[in-house]
Amino acid sequence: MTCAYPVFMRRCLLAAFLILLLPVGSLARLTSTEQYMQKQGLVDIHTLDSTIKVNLMYAYGDNFTGKVLYTDIHRAYLHPKAAKALVDAQRFLRKEHPQWSLVIFDAARPMSVQQVMWNEVKRTPKRIYVSNPANGGGLHNYGLAVDVSICNAKGDTLSMGTKIDYMGSLAHITNEEQMMRAGKLTKTAIQNRKLLRRVMEAAGFRCLSTEWWHFNYVSRATARKYYKVIR
């Protein structure tokens, strides 16, 4: 089994150490962006299920932009409906594998961050992997999408064939069997992807065809009609 991000466990240990150093009551403090998200009705997933792991990849520089994009987001926020569904998915996973857990790599994302991401790819072939803010952005910008994988009891993410945030055909779910026959994906990686899809779809999510880790709770049309965008 491999880690989607090799520094995952080091981050967890560092976070635990820093928590011990915080003064009493400081854990309740929210950044201005987190306060804004709460006022907009989004919820911190850990208020519903603290067993779901959180490792926000855009809070660190080892993502496709090479930049820290979340300077004041430290918690995974989702729309309450999507958050409840994710808790259901965690329950479905643990019914099959009690020692395993979902791990969130991205959840609600401000449109301002979406613009930075779009600027990185808009003149490259990778633009197909990032939603254009000028067209309304994507479901992350409504708190209705989540980037997620599965980790074992040690905190190591299961092998999925690519790391989170990989922009290329190996991340697509539409040609997995072909990639396996070509020796580019292992049978284990495909089985793990199918497990992830099974528990997420049972909870009401749908996987994005080009990113095995990305799950939407509603359609873009529904989001734009009935939900608020996160600025």
| pLDDT tens-digit series, residues 141-161 | 999 999 999 999 999 999 999
Percent of the chain with pLDDT over 70: 88
pLDDT of residue 73: 97
pLDDT of residue 17: 42
Percent of the chain with pLDDT over 90: 87
Sequence-separated (6 or more) residues with CB below 8 Å from residue 30: 38
Q: What is the mean pLDDT of residues 123-130?
A: 96
pLDDT of residue 29: 87
Rounded CA separation 185/9 (Å): 25
pTM given for the model: 0.88
What digits encode the pLDDT tens for the residues 4-29? 445 555 555 544 443 343 333 334 58
Burial class (CB in 10 A: 0-12, 13-18, 19+), 198: middle
Rounded CA separation 193/160 (Å): 6
